[in-house]
Amino acid sequence: MSGTSLDGIDTALIDFKSNKPVFIGTVFLPFNEAFKSDLLALHHPGNDELNKAALTSNQLAHCYAEAITDLLKHTKILASSVTAIGCHGQTIRHCPTVGNGYSIQLVNAALLAELTGITVVSDFRNRDIAAGGQGAPLVPAFHRAVFMDSKAHRVIVNIGGIANITYISPRGVDISGFDCGPGNMLMDAWCRQHTGNQYDNNGDWAATGQVISDLLEKLLSNDFFSKPPPKSTGRDLFNDNWLRNHLRGNEKAEDVQATLMHLTIASIAHAIDTFYPSTDEIYLCGGGAHNSHLVNHLKSALPSKRIKLTDELGVQADWVEACAFAWLAQQTILKRSGNVPAVTGARGERILGAVYYA
Q: What is the pLDDT of residue 217?
A: 98
Q: What is the pLDDT of residue 32?
A: 94
Q: What is the pLDDT of residue 121?
A: 98
Give the integer Cα–Cα distance in Å for 314 and 277: 25
Q: What is the pLDDT of residue 96?
A: 87
pTM (2 decimals)? 0.95
DSSP letter, residue 192:
H
Instruction: Please report, for residues 243, 249, 291, 307, 347, the alpha-carbon distance to residue 211 in angstroms, rounded to integers and kept in the order given.
Output: 15, 15, 17, 23, 42
Q: Where are the domains of the chain?
A: 8-135+319-356, 140-317
Asked whether this chain's domains 8-135+319-356 and 140-317 adopt the same fold, the reply is yes
Q: What is the pLDDT of residue 228?
A: 95
Q: What is the pLDDT of residue 97?
A: 80
Residues of the chain with pLDDT under 50: none
238 Cβ contact partners less than 8 Å away, ≥ 6 residues apart: 162, 181, 182, 185, 186
| Preceding peptide of 229 cis, ω within 30° | no
**CATH code for 140-317?**
3.30.420.40
131 Cβ contact partners less than 8 Å away, ≥ 6 residues apart: 339, 346, 347, 348, 350
- Judged by phi (left if over 0) then psi (alpha if -120 to 50, else beta), residue 197 lies in beta
Q: Residue 232 class from Cβ within 10 Å (0-12 exposed, 13-18 middle, 19+ buried)?
A: buried
3-state secondary structure of 102: strand
Would you state the CATH architecture of domain 8-135+319-356? 2-Layer Sandwich (3.30)
3-state secondary structure of 319: helix
CA dihedral (15, 21, 22, 26) positive or negative: positive
3-state secondary structure of 177: strand
> How many beta carbons lie within 10 A of that of residue 335, not counting itself?
7
